[in-house]
Amino acid sequence: MEKLQTGIYQHYKGGKYELLFTAEQTETQEAMVIYRSLKDQKIWTRPASMWSEKVSIDGQEKLRFTFLKSIESEDWEHKYKLALADYQNLLKQSAKDKIDFAKFALSDFLQELLPVYDHLKMSLATLPDNEQDSAWVKGVEYVLKQFKDLLESRGVQEIKTTGEKFDHNLMEALEGEGDKVIKEVMAGYTLHGRTIRAAKVIVGKK
């Protein structure tokens, strides 16, 4: 009898099985087939001659077991699918990393730029009332507005503090007790939702 190829076979009734190997019956030296059901993993055996024979179904002859593919091809197909999935995940992660890099590449630069913005704001906050309407003040206010619009267009947001509930993710309490921010000492900022400088505040109970 021609040696049977190991691999995946389909029974004429539709079930699929893996031919594991062939063996020889010790008493009769009859060739036997050892195979596994892909449905429930049960191991079966039957004479090789029966495995290879044809059966008559509705007047038509069919192989009892029809060879589909070798187990090696199945392994390679599985490995290919896994490798393809890994590659696609790598592409997605690389794209995400590029987006994140573009979003947060400004972080170091902003650490140097934001103090300038803060100083401009403080210069207006300490002006006496009689200078509030002067031309140079209006000019600084306009520059500040442009500054703010530019920062916001790049994803920078100033953290709201005074009157808000203290949030340890966004703020640093310099003094006081309680969970209410009663005064802002230094402004804080987020970049695309990530804190790049915590706001320094004083907290109280009211």
pLDDT confidence of 4, banded at 50, 70, 90? confident
Is residue 79 a part of any domain in this protein?
no
Which of 40-44, 92-96, 106-110 is predicted with the least confidence, judged by mean pLDDT? 106-110
The residue segments making up the domain with residue 145 are 107-204
On whether the CB atoms of residues 9 and 17 are closer than 8 A, the answer is yes
Is residue 149 a part of any domain in this protein?
yes
CATH number at residue 157: 2.30.22.10
From CA 13, how far away is CA 23, in angstroms rounded?
A: 25
Is residue 86 a part of any domain in this protein?
no
Q: Which two tokens stand for residue 51?
A: 């495995």
Is residue 158 a part of any domain in this protein?
yes
Is residue 28 a part of any domain in this protein?
yes
Q: Residues 132, 194: one domain?
A: yes
Q: Residues 200, 112: one domain?
A: yes
From CA 195, how far away is CA 148, in angstroms rounded?
A: 17
- Counting the structural domains of the chain, the total is 2
Q: Residues 171, 121: one domain?
A: yes
Q: How many residues does the chain have?
A: 206
Nearest one of 18, 34, 35, 15 to 69, comparing CA atoms: 18
From CA 206, how far away is CA 166, in angstroms rounded?
A: 12
Q: Residues 111, 66: one domain?
A: no
Q: Residues 113, 191: one domain?
A: yes
Is residue 91 a part of any domain in this protein?
no
Q: Residues 119, 191: one domain?
A: yes
Q: Residues 53, 134: one domain?
A: no
pLDDT in tens, 117-164: 888 887 777 777 777 777 777 787 888 888 888 888 888 889 999 989
CATH number at residue 12: 2.30.30.320
Is residue 77 a part of any domain in this protein?
no
Domain boundary (72, 88, 115) is at: 72
Is residue 36 a part of any domain in this protein?
yes
pLDDT in tens, 17-31: 999 989 988 888 899
